[in-house]
Amino acid sequence: MPNNRNDTAVSEVAGSILMVAVTVILVALIGVTALSFFGNMQPTRIVGVTAVRFNESNVTITYYGSDKPDQLYWLNISINGARSESMGDVEGTTPLGVGNTTTVLALTRGQDHIVVVGSFADSNKQVLLDTFV
């Protein structure tokens, strides 16, 4: 009996099945890793805050409101990363009123870097404004 059997077809099918299995496992591992990065994200709030320089030495910070105005209690205003001011209730008992304004002393006659961070009722903090005036 001649040995003309073609056994290569069996190994090609087995190889294809193994490649598909390895691909499915890799996709699952990558998916789990990618989804775990987004598990601890905090909600983003929409808040209107402006900083306007009205003379050489003063900058006015104004709060215009937010999507949940009863949740914002306090604003921390940083000037050039060196000094900070605050606006609102540090203890977190009274929401910040819409239209609240504070004037801070500018540090330079040129452009000052103003960063405003909001503190919310759920203890989350969010950068609300990062600008030069």
- The answer to whether residue 63 is domain-embedded is yes
pLDDT tens figures, 33-64: 887 777 667 778 899 999 998 888 888 999 99
- The answer to whether residue 17 is domain-embedded is no
Q: Tokens 């330079």 sit at which residue?
A: 108
Which structural domain, as residue segments, surrounds residue 54?
Answer: 47-132
How much is the average pLDDT of 92-121? Answer: 86
- The answer to whether residue 106 is domain-embedded is yes
- Write the CA distances from 25 to 16, 31, 102, integer angstroms: 14, 10, 57
- The answer to whether residue 53 is domain-embedded is yes
pLDDT tens figures, 7-27: 566 678 888 899 999 999 999
Question: Does pTM top 0.75 for this prediction?
Answer: no
What is the total count of domains within the chain?
1
- The answer to whether residue 28 is domain-embedded is no
